[in-house]
Amino acid sequence: MRNPFASAMKAARLMQKGRPMSAALAMHGVLTTPAKPKPKPKIKVPTRKPAAKRIAKPAPAARPLPGSFTDGLFESKHGAIRYKLYTPTGSARRRMPIVVMLHGCSQSAGDFATGTGMNQLADERGVIMLYPEQSRSANMARCWNWHRPGDQLRGKGEPALIAGLTRHAIALSRADPTRVYIAGISAGGVAAAVIGQAYPELFVAVGIHSALTRGDVSTVSGALAAMRGRPTSEAPTGRTPRPRPTIVFHGDADTVVHPSNADGFRSLLERSTHGPLVSRSEQGMSEGGRAFTRTEHRDGKGDVMLENWTIHGSSHAWSGGARVGSYTDPAGPDASRAMLRFFLARRRKPVRKVAS
């Protein structure tokens, strides 16, 4: 049996000869070389992918304050247009109806708002009023270009521009998209008829004052002939699409747009695919002393599709308008109030989703 003490002494002598102590002890069994420790397994630390940069969405534009009458500029691929927007007094949380008002030739948005008195009625009825304004660069007389083929169709020209502006105003003012209406006088009245029919999914009803029906002309000469009440070869014949519910005002002493043009709306309705009409008329007198005839045309379901007002003795002017505005007849029945009553009685039915 090996003597561990002797082995240690021998290891000491070997160290004196320059041998490492560990080697000497290992040779004589005093020190054993420990096994190399196994390398610790490398723990894979999951690398974090850099977070994707979030692009901040622009904050939605602030809703106009109640009682505010603001100016704006709307731009799209169809052009640019200035406008005025009136938000009625009252709660800012309501989703209110909106009416688009198209002025006549030589008028401005502000002038038209003043003459019609629509902003005052808007406070009373809780309605947002949008007044697009035609530029002199688009028409020197500030007329809407209703007689040009490029401004008579969906997706083109002024109809597309006004429809885009209307959608912009609905989003900006948080308006009720099921209660959107359009009205106008003279050139604005024809434009309203054109645009309302071009975008039936947007506009629920149309108001026309002292104007012609849509789509009857496509040239300047044809427009002038139609305004004078002369028949044109451009007048449509045969079946036509069902028009939007429409309310019409026209003075029978109008020397700018012949009063016979008011009958065009009834003819248009008769040519559409609605079925037979049932008509009823009544006579009346305004507080200002103007006599008028009001006629309702109902479809087979009993719905009023056309309400036609003939203002006896009135000229080319907004019936019941304010004296401080242009092209107004303060003595006539209140066209603004009648139009709002006609509009607000109608709304688009919500689309029901069919379960898949």
Main-chain dihedrals φ then ψ at residue 266, nearest 5 degrees: -70, -40
Main-chain dihedrals φ then ψ at residue 307, nearest 5 degrees: -120, 115
pLDDT of residue 268: 87
- What are the residues whose beta carbons fall under 8 Å from the beta carbon of 152, sequence distance 6 or more? 146, 159, 194, 198, 214, 215, 218
End-to-end CA distance of the chain: 94
pLDDT of residue 91: 72
What's the Rg (C-alpha) of the chain?
A: 40
pLDDT of residue 25: 38
Strand pairing report for 128-133 and 98-102 = parallel
> Residue 340: which of 205, 222, 160, 200 has the closest Cα?
205
pLDDT of residue 345: 96
Q: How many CB atoms lie within 10 A of CB 15?
A: 15
Count of residues in the chain = 356
pLDDT of residue 10: 55
C-alpha angle 295/318/243, rounded to 5°? 50
pLDDT of residue 219: 82
Q: What is the pTM of this model?
A: 0.81
Enter the tokens of residue 188.
């604005």
pLDDT of residue 156: 94
Cβ contact 193:208 at 8 Å: yes
Cα-Cα-Cα-Cα dihedral sign, residues 193, 195, 201, 203 = negative
Q: Running along the chain, 356 residues long, what does each successive block of 10 average in pLDDT?
A: 49 49 42 54 60 62 90 96 96 87 97 98 96 96 94 95 98 96 97 96 98 78 84 57 92 96 90 82 97 95 95 98 96 98 91 46
pLDDT of residue 24: 40
Strand, helix or coil at 46? coil
pLDDT of residue 229: 82
